[in-house]
């Protein structure tokens, strides 16, 4: 398995007074050639669904997928986004979809471990050249998983 960690404290920032933002990849005034992309991230498509936190407790909830359905938002791209909200000590196995995929995991709250890499709040990791991972929750944790085809650069 190959991986690249994106520590939260290394994220780019933009502060224009009324808007303060942080980002992992080159955007706005933040340019870093090593952080130009990961996989084939998604172009916007607008659809509205509500995913209450209490309904996501201790499960991985698909929120966006190329598979049509009413339980999540649909996207016309080979990608899948899922939200996790798990208790401390939870171990979540994740199996990638077939061939040529990578996974980007962003920790929104808490801390998790993937393999031997510890991720704290606002840290992220990109993973590829594997077909499965296990996310171990070191505390109560919320995270976002983005599965997309590997970048063809």
Architecture of domain 56-153 in CATH?
Answer: Sandwich (2.60)
- pLDDT value of residue 16: 78
End-to-end CA distance of the chain: 19
Show Cβ contacts of residue 16 under 8 Å, excluding neighbours closer than 6 positions.
Answer: none
**Which comes out higher in pLDDT, residue 8 or 109?**
109
**Which comes out higher in pLDDT, residue 134 or 13?**
134
Task: Sheet with 80-86: list strands edge to edge.
Answer: 2-6, 124-128, 101-109, 141-149, 80-86, 59-65, 73-74
Instruction: Write down the domain spans for the chain.
Output: 7-36, 56-153
Distance of CA 118 to the CA centre of its chain: 15
Q: Can you list the positions of beta strands (E) in 7-58?
A: 12-15, 20-23
Taking a C-beta distance cutoff of 8 angstroms, is the pair 105, 119 a contact?
yes
| Residues 52-68 pLDDT 10s | 888 889 999 999 888 88
């Amino acid at each position: 398995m190959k991986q690249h960690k994106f520590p939260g404290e290394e994220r780019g920032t933009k502060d224009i007074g009324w808007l303060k933002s942080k980002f992992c990849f080159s955007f706005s005034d933040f340019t870093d050639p090593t952080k130009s992309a990961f996989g084939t991230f998604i172009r916007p498509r607008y659809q509205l669904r509500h995913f209450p936190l209490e309904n996501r407790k201790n499960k991985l909830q698909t929120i966006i997928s190329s598979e049509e359905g009413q339980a999540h938002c649909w996207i016309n791209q080979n990608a899948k986004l899922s939200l996790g909200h798990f208790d401390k000590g939870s171990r979540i196995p994740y199996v990638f979809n077939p061939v040529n995929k990578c996974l980007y995991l962003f920790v929104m709250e808490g801390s998790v471990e993937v393999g031997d890499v510890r991720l704290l709040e606002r840290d992220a990791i990109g993973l590829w050249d594997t077909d499965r991972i296990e996310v171990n929750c070191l505390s109560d944790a919320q995270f976002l998983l983005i599965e997309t085809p590997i970048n063809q650069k």
